[in-house]
Structure 1
Amino acid sequence: MVLFVTGTCRKACWYCPLSKERKGHDRVYANEKCIATPGDAVAEARRMSALGTGVTGGEPLDKLDRVVEYCRALKRELGPGHQIHLYTALAPTRDQLERLSGLVDEIRLHPPHDQWETIAQSDFIASARLAKHMGFVTGIEVPSLPGMDLLEAALPYLDFLNINELEWGESNAEEMRRRGMVPEDGVHNAVMGAREWGAGLCSHQKVHWCSSGFKDSVQLRKRLLRIARNTARPFDEVTEDGTVVYGLVEGLGEVPEIIRELGDDGYELREEGLETAWWILAEHGDEISGTRYIVERYPDRGIIVEVTPL
């Protein structure tokens, strides 16, 4: 699960991909759902059978009390085996690390680009060494930018270095253009050249590369599949991409006999209309009045992907 604890941050990294909807706003999200309490976060984790949680932002350490409250609830309700890692663009102090001890298992540091040239002498490495001594798994996670090789000096002090392929977004597009960067193609968000900037470090055992395509086609897909399998109704069809497909009838006077025969689990009446298995509407359209559609959407009443009239 992705636990987004705040959209506020004291840094101003030009490459930040955070959406305008979240950037600068002090809201909490569990995956795509805006939430209000630690109990909401636990419920979302259970909904998707999450084995762990990534705490992110904005800057999570600027809301340390909130991070502690939410992580304590997740550990208490889901058990100590629920792995929690935290991203931060700050160098955590001893006091901050002590408050996170036993609640957060892994610290993922994000040193800003302008500090890479002196990374070995930075507060980030001092903090990484302290965190490792206190029992945290500790590493650096950054986007692939020009000058990636400068981070090689940090490797002796880390458990890992994660490189994420630099992505074009609505909030960083202007800065990207100012630096002469362009998208790799018209389909993905990856920036041209990003793969080459990180290539030199990827031969190191501690270095891991995460492509833009992997995030979209694997990470998001797996999360959606877990949610869909836990929340799909008996008549929903779960696709290989983790979306759900069902039939919708609008303007229906009464439930047709062909649908009533399916039983209570075979359909649902909602404000939008009657929802049931899509194939029923496709195969028995002559027995069903009203306007019929096939709907594909993210699970648990998520974003609608496509609506196809029948």
Structure 2
Amino acid sequence: KAGVPMLDTDRYIFPVCFNDGFLWSSEEESYMFSFPGDGQNDVYPGIGIDLHDAKGVDKHWLTAIENSNVVWISGELSENDDNSVCVLLESESQSEIFYIYNKVYKRSLSVKKGRKLAKGDIIGTAWGDPLWGHLQFGIVRCDTTPLPSDVFSNLINGFPQLYELYFKDDFYHIRQYSKGRINFGKPDYQCGNRKNSQGFEVYEGKGWLTGKWNIADKVEFVTDGIDGNVRLRKKMFRGTGAECENPLNYFDYEISVPNGTYRIRAKAGDIFSDTWQKIEFEGVRPFTLSLKAGEFDWTTERIAEVNDRRLTVRIYLDEDNKTVAGLSEIVFQKAK
């Protein structure tokens, strides 16, 4: 029901402590139903919360989301390396609900199997994987206790509840920007796994305008571990369950901003493919860039007027659909 909290905040708490200044962007590419777009047909198991600045150090401690019991601790999951373990908690209030805290830093682990935890009790800190520091958090509903081998088999979507626990009374807030630098497709460790490939969301204040034709509600991105970009073409996610075709010959990226005059420019190109793109800011005279694979170039600065609270960047595609378009960065600033 609109306006009624999903969870009682006297019983539940966000699973990362705020004492060390933790800030959650809520924009990570690692969330349930986030199609990876790399030829796979699976989705991300759970929610990956960026904690890269706390990787391997005593900072941003992980906490029990509610009163619960430690069912098991295992380092046997394929996602774990020698530094990380998975902790499974069983809800004290709902016997069929379990909480997954995966990629916890082994040396910081503060709980043992069988221990009863109160809401907010410390579990440990995050490790993540060899490159990106993060917590893989999941909620499971299961009649029997999940095993490490199939712990992600009965996941339920807990993103709305986490979002509410973090933002509380600002749950329905609209995010706006007056200036910024937006990177696209960069490696996880550089950007906190914010690829900026997702469809527009009011709570993020930015994103791609997609439609019913795009079941994944996102665009493709590529990365080589050092750099990255989004890749735009008429037909996306080829050979997967999310294969789709844009009925238009362009893509729009929108940023929620106050009305006014903006300075803006963009960096185009693709790390692996030749590109052709015509880039237009708010209908102002466009730039056309034709670049070789691995080549990137900036448009010159344009002055754009915004009257609808949306700063729109339109990228036109090659009319013959033979060459992809690529976008690496956007920088913008309100001039007046």
- Shorter-chain TM-score category? under 0.3
TM-score (norm: length of structure 1)? 0.26
TM-score (norm: length of structure 2)? 0.25
Q: Which has the larger radius of gyration?
A: 1
Q: Which has the larger helix fraction?
A: 1
Question: Relative contact order (alpha carbons < 8 A, sep ≥ 6): 1 or 2 greater?
Answer: 2
Q: Which has the larger strand fraction?
A: 2
